[in-house]
Amino acid sequence: MTAAVSFSGVSRHFGKVQAVDRVDLVVEPGEFFAMLGPSGSGKTTCLRLIAGFEQPDSGHIEIFGETAEGVPPYRRNVNTVFQDYALFPHFSILDNVAYGLMVKGIGKAERHRQAEEALALVKLPDYGARKPGQLSGGQRQRVALARALVNRPRVLLLDEPLGALDLKLRESMQEELKSLQRSLGITFIFVTHDQGEALSMADRVAVFNKGRIVQAGTPQEIYNRPKTRFVADFVGSSNVIDPDAMRYFGGEARCASLRPEAISLVRDGGVRAHVRSAAFLGAATRLGVTAGDVSLSVMLPAGQPVPEQGTEVGLTWAPGDVHYMDDAA
């Protein structure tokens, strides 16, 4: 099967900044794919390379088997939901959604009918007559989505789609995007710096750092088996433990990650540690402890007694829960 999008050795630099550095990437058709990374890691540039707003300095990009280099954005069967939504302020909502059909020369009645359908799909029927300025952030986001989907793209690109929404809206939009993607079967590629969002929505995640993909895999792989220290730091709430501390704990002298919920407390024995802080999270309590000079966080399931601050406790974990990884970024 042809990949929806494939990058081979793609680089793009701006002046001296290497924004994208020899990236190889394959996105399968129908996949919900997340590009995750801190700002400046090259994820947005990758998205713009797919959309056609940027051209690679070197390397090769294919979209459904067709070479993408040199093809302008308006000749790619790819649509984008922009971070600021980029709705046209002088058009009504209906004309915004119908814009892509209008420039293709589709008649007014037909394009308005299709635009109405797209608005119904994103649960905004009867909003067609309004102007973008009269809509809330969440509604504008839906319009941007409808405006892209009405063109029936083979790949939909979403640039930080939920970044501007408040928490509650973000959570409901996550589910909606996910079910929309499943029912339409379109390949979704979205860029985010929010690891929770990437892990909960995507079929596969590529973690970016300094213009390169550090690790790509399913959310479970990324979360449970981070390849490098950077991934562990960025993706998880895992404890990242230095080689020296690892040896002190009786393990191999290598960098390792250890999930807070994998640590349990014992009264006697174990690695001795002091409780520094305790935060009640509802379903669990997060303890901050120090063992020697290493700070760790421990997730204590609800129902267990929470030790007082300053108490000495013992920490144990199963050797299998320690995940060794590369120390490099």
Partner 1 sequence: MRSDTEATASLPLKIAAGAGIAFLHLPILLIFVYAFTTEEKSFQWPPPGLTLNWFSVAWNRPDVWQALSLSVKVASVATAIALLLGTLAAAAVSQTRFFGREAISLLVILPIALPGIITGIALRSAFSLADIPYSLWTIILGHGTFCVVVVYNNAVARFRRTSGSLIEASMDLGADGFQTFRHIILPNIATALLAGGMLAFALSFDEVIVTTFTGGQQATLPIWMLQELIRPRQRPVTNVVAVVVVLVTFLPILAAYYLTRDTDEIAGSGK
Contact residues for partner 1, defined by CB under 8 A: 51-53, 72-74, 78-80, 82-84, 86-90, 99-100, 102-104, 147-148, 151
Cβ 82 to partner 1 shortest distance, Å: 5
CA distances 144 to 80, 118, 151, Å, are: 9, 10, 12
User: Tokens 């290493």 sit at which residue?
Assistant: 294
Cβ 102 to partner 1 shortest distance, Å: 8
Q: Is the Cβ of residue 53 or residue 280 nearer to partner 1 in the bound state?
A: 53
8 three-class SS: strand
Contacts of 124 (CB under 8 A, 6+ apart): 93, 139, 142, 143, 146
Q: Is the Cβ of residue 119 or residue 275 nearer to partner 1 in the bound state?
A: 119
Cβ 292 to partner 1 shortest distance, Å: 51
DSSP, residue by residue, 218-278: -HHHHHHS-SBHHHHHHH--PEEE-HHHHHHTTS-SS-EEE-GGG-EEESSSSEEEEEEEE
Cβ 83 to partner 1 shortest distance, Å: 8
Cβ 14 to partner 1 shortest distance, Å: 9
CA distances 185 to 139, 206, 220, 283, Å, are: 23, 20, 22, 35
User: Tokens 């929404």 sit at which residue?
Assistant: 165
* 158, 149 contact by CB (below 8 A): no
Cβ 153 to partner 1 shortest distance, Å: 9
Q: Retrieve residue 17's tokens.
A: 């900044």
